């Protein structure tokens, strides 16, 4: 199996979440105070969410190979899940206004069994084209192999 491209998600996709968390921390300090149970609760939840987001982003990895796409998401998964090109029915791009401005987006890969979402992809249009080219090349290789046998 030959690796075509390795993709790491970007933290920029969580700009709105970080803005809300920053507001929550400000609220915890200014409105409630750190010594109150409400202030401590807000700080605790904000901290846990921030750590979860950072771990999720920095431990996720997507690898486009000549046979399919390998997906590893989150801090607790060690193994990659493979989606072969034969399983893929469609690939769509989901982008909001700010995601377009940051040139990031999510790829939704639909198979017969499930949908896989690849979040925080830089230049999602180029990545979708790459996957479609590799899918076509894999189909061509299989056709040639069938003709030879």
Q: What is the pLDDT of residues 84-135, one digit of tens each?
A: 999 999 999 999 998 999 999 999 999 999 999 999 999 999 999 999 999 9
Report the mean per-residue pLDDT for the chain: 90
For the chain, domain boundaries: 3-148
Neighbours of 65 (CB within 10 A): 19
CATH 3.30.365.10 assigned to domain 3-148? The reply is no
β 115-122/81-84 pair status: unpaired
Helix (H, G, I), strand (E, B) or coil at 64: strand
pTM, to two decimals: 0.81
**Listing from the earlier edge strand, what are the strands of the sheet with 104-111?**
88-94, 104-111, 115-122
| Confidence grade of residue 75 (pLDDT, cut at 50, 70, 90) | confident
Q: Are 73 and 8 in contact (CB under 8 A)?
A: no
């Amino acid at each position: 199996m030959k690796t075509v491209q390795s993709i790491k998600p970007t933290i920029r996709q969580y700009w709105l979440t970080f803005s809300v968390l920053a507001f929550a921390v400000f609220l915890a300090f200014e409105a409630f105070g750190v010594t109150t149970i409400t202030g401590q609760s807000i700080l605790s939840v904000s901290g846990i969410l921030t750590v979860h987001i950072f771990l999720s982003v920095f431990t996720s990895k997507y690898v486009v190979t000549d046979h399919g796409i390998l997906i590893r998401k989150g801090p607790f998964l060690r193994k990659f899940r493979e989606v072969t090109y034969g399983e893929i029915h469609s690939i769509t791009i989901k982008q909001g206004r700010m995601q377009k401005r940051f040139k990031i987006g999510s790829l939704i890969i639909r198979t017969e069994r499930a949908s896989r979402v690849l979040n925080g992809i830089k230049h999602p249009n180029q990545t979708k084209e790459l996957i479609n080219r590799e899918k076509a090349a894999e189909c061509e290789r299989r056709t040639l192999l069938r003709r030879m046998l």
